[in-house]
Structure 1
Amino acid sequence: MDTLASADLVAAFRTELDLCRVSPGETVLIFTDPRFVHPEYVPAAFAAARTLGAEVYVMTAQGDQMMDDRLVRAAWNNADMILGMSMLPRGIGSWMYTDTSNDALKAGARVLMVQEPFAGLQRMLPNENIRRRGLIGAQMMEEAKEIRVTSAAGSDYVMRKDGRKGAYQCGIADAPGRWDHWPSGMVACAPLEDSTEGIYVVEPGDVLLGLWRHAQTQVRMTFEKGRITRIEGGSDAYLLQAYLDSHGDDGAYRVSHAGWGTDERADWGAIGMDSESKYGTILVALGRNVFDAPTEHCGLGGVNNSTAHCDICCRNTSLWLDGRLIVENEQFMVPDLR
């Protein structure tokens, strides 16, 4: 990155950390690894946190760190604010699905994931409208017991979520024990792992985020008693099947989390958090969901320990909560969610 461009980075990180209520005397831990794809973020965040009066430390873990090292756990458990700039441990979706992250949240840390390209950080800088939509959606999700997803392409499946929390992301971790991801705008929950029944269809142009690609061919998944029993279609079906099979565990074939995007600024062409956050789109992921947080409307509370995690983001899809239509083909039917 151009040296002068770093000035924009520092300004953006200061704005973000101010939203996360970083204050003088707090301890900020920046966690990264040698393979992090945006190494310029580390000094920019360091400088921004210092301008806010925080005590800042950088921990660079080895590239094969599994997040269970005593030193790593001790650092995470004793920080006020953690900036996760890493995809460690490799293969399970990221550190957010580890005991180290869950325990740090329980200890009261505010935890923020930062790993998207700078264009996305700027374009989807958090605002109050995204937080408002997320909170209202999470409250509705928490009260619901059944989720149904349909589409003209043939999706029609139901998931139970009795007792599971409703959560939202808005890009701001501003309360003890809260996790968030900058940038993001979404509502989610972890359905009961044995509850999904029906047909889940992914159309060309939808995003197979776990495979880092827009689908080129239709994928048709059949769920029975919570588990995928059949994957049909062309090349993308083959790739998805191979990905799930490669993990060698039953949880790879079960739903991880389900919900919708809330940010109209998201770019469908930019694969990543833009895909999950796109306003009115439906996200139903597969695999690991052992991620929780003590704050209200944060975390998933699932019990799926699979090493797989594959987010799947679909346009032109509708979602019901307990029989009430919430989203229809990327339009919110509930005025408060608009």
Structure 2
Amino acid sequence: MQVQDRWIHTFEKIFQKCKVQPNEVVRILCETDSRPINVMLSELALARMGAIPVQIKVPSLAVETPVPVRSTGASHVIQNMRPVMDALSGEGLIVDLTVEGLLHAPELPALLGSGARVMMISNEHPEILERLTQDLDLERPVKNGVRLLAKGKSMQVRSKAGTNLRINLEGAQVGGVWGGADRPGLVQHWPGGICLAFPAAGSVNGTLVLNTGDVNLTFKRYLEQPITLHIENDYISHIEGDNLDAELMRSYMKAWNDRDAYAVSHVGWGMNPLARWDALQMFDKTETNGTELRAFAGNFLYSTGANDVAGRHSLGHFDLPLRACTVEIDGQAVVEAGEVIWEAFK
């Protein structure tokens, strides 16, 4: 894949959102399996802006899991190696180009606590990043969405397909992604546009119906038949469905031999009107990490696996964006039948 000038411009726009300054030393964290074109584009864009890019490259880890791991946001490549941590720590921008990303990595709190800010550029084909890097400012609506979550006591999610989910927000950790790591202690990822909550233990109960056309991002696959997940005190107690999609999910979860793989990780909704639900259809699985599908406006995002707030650390992980759901915070609709209620975020 050859470098395109327009892609360098795309990466410049991303780094402008991070307020990169001339002569600023910017640390690029990558691994041997990182997408080479994105590493190169980062270096060229930073150099064009007058910054000083410094590449920190670590070996990708051997596969030691019972099944393939995809799109977790929990890279383990740093391995708490002291020389690597020393190089990454301190004030300044870290450009995260690891395959899985540092969003849920065990070392992230220490890096943010040292004064670093982290821009996680998802492992996507540059065409995806180019299409979604426009003059779109999502900071205000996403931050207002996070405030709603922080003040809220409960979230209710329903759909005509049969979803009826109740989520206690008390004690949850909340956050948002709008796409610019512009201050110390902040982590963002691109593409952006997501409001999220990590519920405390025992907070999620009800039924989640994954309907035809909803997405299993771990498999990078649109569902062709419905699946019903019965959830009791955070844990999927039964995966209902007599079809291939349900069988694949049952098989993958069972392979972990870990009860916490069945538990909720985070819940939230997408806020990016440029992101497309149907974009996954246009790329081979090796060309996308699926972050666009997490962010498309109006999706309800339900995820399983690791949740630090609840004390769960499973590597098993599903990100499941659902369409046509209504999401309410304390009775106030923020998403109605898959459409963002933008008035709620002003």
Return the TM-score normalized by structure 1: 0.89
Residues 54-85 of structure 1, C-alpha deviation per residue, up to 9 Å, x if partnerless?
23211221121642222222222236111111
Matches within 5 A, 1:315-326: 315-326=323-334
Query: Aligned-pair distance for 1:183?
Result: 1.1
Which residue is 1:87 aligned to? Answer: 99
| Alignment pair present for 1:70 and 2:79 | no
User: What letter corresponds to residue 233 of structure 2 in structure 1?
Assistant: K
| Alignment pair present for 1:245 and 2:281 | no
Query: Aligned-pair distance for 1:329?
Result: 0.9
Q: SS of 1:265's equivalent?
A: coil
The question of whether the paired residues in 1 share the 8 Å contact of 2:179 and 2:192 is answered with yes
Which residue is 2:120 aligned to? Answer: 113
Change (3 A) 1:331 1:111: same
| Alignment pair present for 1:275 and 2:293 | yes
Gaps of 5+ in 1: 89-93, 291-300
The question of whether the paired residues in 2 share the 8 Å contact of 1:9 and 1:41 is answered with no
Gaps of 5+ in 2: 62-75, 281-289
Matches within 5 A, 1:91-240: 94-114=101-121, 115-125=123-133, 127=135, 129-233=137-241, 234-240=243-249
User: What letter corresponds to residue 149 of structure 1 in structure 2?
Assistant: V
Which residue is 1:286 aligned to? Answer: 304
- Following the alignment from structure 1 to structure 2, what is the Cα–Cα distance between the partners of residues 78 and 335? 39
Which residue is 1:26 aligned to? Answer: 24
Residues 6-41 of structure 1, C-alpha deviation per residue, up to 9 Å, x if partnerless?
x122211112111101113432111112222x3111
Query: Aligned-pair distance for 1:48?
Result: 1.7
| Alignment pair present for 1:332 and 2:340 | yes
User: What letter corresponds to residue 120 of structure 2 in structure 1?
Assistant: M
Change (3 A) 1:127 1:164: farther
- Following the alignment from structure 1 to structure 2, what is the Cα–Cα distance between the partners of residues 248 and 111? 33
Residues 183-211 of structure 1, C-alpha deviation per residue, up to 9 Å, x if partnerless?
12111111123221111110111011122
User: What letter corresponds to residue 78 of structure 2 in structure 1?
Assistant: M
| Alignment pair present for 1:58 and 2:69 | no
Query: Aligned-pair distance for 1:119?
Result: 2.1
Change (3 A) 1:327 1:95: same
Change (3 A) 1:67 1:247: farther
Return the TM-score normalized by structure 2: 0.87
Matches within 5 A, 1:1-40: 1-3=1-3, 5=4, 7-36=5-34, 38-40=35-37
- Following the alignment from structure 2 to structure 1, what is the Cα–Cα distance between the partners of residues 257 and 9? 44
In the comparison of the two structures, how many residue pairs are matched?
A: 320
